[in-house]
Amino acid sequence: MTRQRSAVLIAGPTASGKSSMALARARDRGSVIINADSMQVYDTLRIVTARPSADDEAQADHRLYGTVPANQRFSTGQWLNAVKEILDTLDPAREAIFVGGTGLYFDALTKGFADVPEIAPELTLQVEAEIKLLDEAERMRLLLAEDPATAHRLKVADPQRVIRALAVKRATGKPLSAFQDDLQKGLVEDWAVERYVLAPDRDVLRERIALRFEAMFAGGAVEEVRALRAQNLDPSLPVMKAIGVREIGDWLDGVMERQEAIALATIATQQYAKRQRTWFRNRMGEWPRLGLGGTRPT
């Protein structure tokens, strides 16, 4: 009888201790840790994106960390294809631990993925500029005019979803909903899967975020941003939007003081953590909750 393959899915907001939980389990069981964070896939910014340290990576098998050049874009579909290649060559007896804060990656992994063709970045930027000054009602009216099927599925016409839907419709001539109705099967659908969302106390998380960015600034983040800027990359690339890149860049340019840069990056990170918690609450409400670093709630 073939043994069922196993996976552990560890999701949570930034600074919640996901990586330490994954590392402890991987060391104990010989598991492979697979990155499920959309910023940690890129090279150059190990510290800024809070990737595992070189010492951590030496203690367990880590995959998809820092493997994508900063001058490239890496879609959810590309991530899923990369994961499939890893799983196809992995010893079936080894546990796979997926860890990260990108909810869409976990959705694709467990529920399947709509195989939408790659959209030219220029078109996406054009749509983004077109809707920039529109309020929610106006965005919904525009989407209803061009892609009513997708519009009727959205509860809120938030900018990113509207941009995505309009870009897909204009590029392919097909509504985004048509691709969403043709989901590929989730890669771990038939596996034995443990699912966890780390949900530490908000005040504790906010303090950890503040302390972490202070440490990043003093521990090499500035040098990473210098190296990134030296590549003269397109500002629209995902890596250029990593929290801390703009703030540290402004400090390097003399636009703001060091403490202001740290404060703004900390606020942006806390806001990002709030968006992550909202996603996990709405899309992973049934997943068991754990405390900081995977501790059991008291």
For residue 17, the Cα-to-chain-centroid distance in whole angstroms is 15
- Which string of b and e fits 216-255 if b means at least 16 CB within 10 Å? bbeeebbebbeebeeeebeeebbbbebbbbbbbbbbeeee
- Tokens 């294809």 belong to 81
**Hey, what domains does the chain have and what are their CATH numbers?**
6-114+185-199+286-294 (3.40.50.300), 121-180 (1.10.20.140), 202-273 (1.10.287.890)
Question: What residues are designated binding site for ATP?
Answer: 12-19
Look up the pTM and report it.
Answer: 0.84
Structure confidence at residue 183 (pLDDT)? 64
80-94 tens-digit pLDDT: 999 999 999 999 999
**What's the mean per-residue pLDDT of the chain?**
93
Judge residue 83's burial from the number of C-beta atoms within 10 Å of its C-beta, 0-12 exposed, 13-18 middle, 19 or more buried: buried
The C-alpha atoms of residue 188 and residue 169 are separated, in whole angstroms, by 30
Q: Which of 72, 66, 69, 3 has its CA nearest to residue 37?
A: 66
Q: Which residue has the higher pLDDT, 50 or 2?
A: 50
Question: What residues are designated binding site?
Answer: 12-19
CA distances from 34 to 30, 51, 196, 234 (A): 13, 12, 15, 28
Question: What residues are designated binding site for substrate?
Answer: 14-19
102-122 tens-digit pLDDT: 999 999 999 888 777 778 888
State which amino acid sits at residue 230.
A
Host H or E run for residue 11: strand 6-11
% of residues, the chain, pLDDT over 70? 98
Q: Which residue has the higher pLDDT, 185 or 13?
A: 13
Structure confidence at residue 1 (pLDDT)? 57
The C-alpha atoms of residue 280 and residue 274 are separated, in whole angstroms, by 10
170-224 tens-digit pLDDT: 999 999 888 877 766 789 988 999 999 999 999 999 999 999 989 999 999 999 9
145-168 tens-digit pLDDT: 999 999 998 878 888 889 989 999
The C-alpha atoms of residue 277 and residue 281 are separated, in whole angstroms, by 6
Q: Which residue has the higher pLDDT, 99 or 150?
A: 99
51-71 tens-digit pLDDT: 999 999 999 999 999 999 999
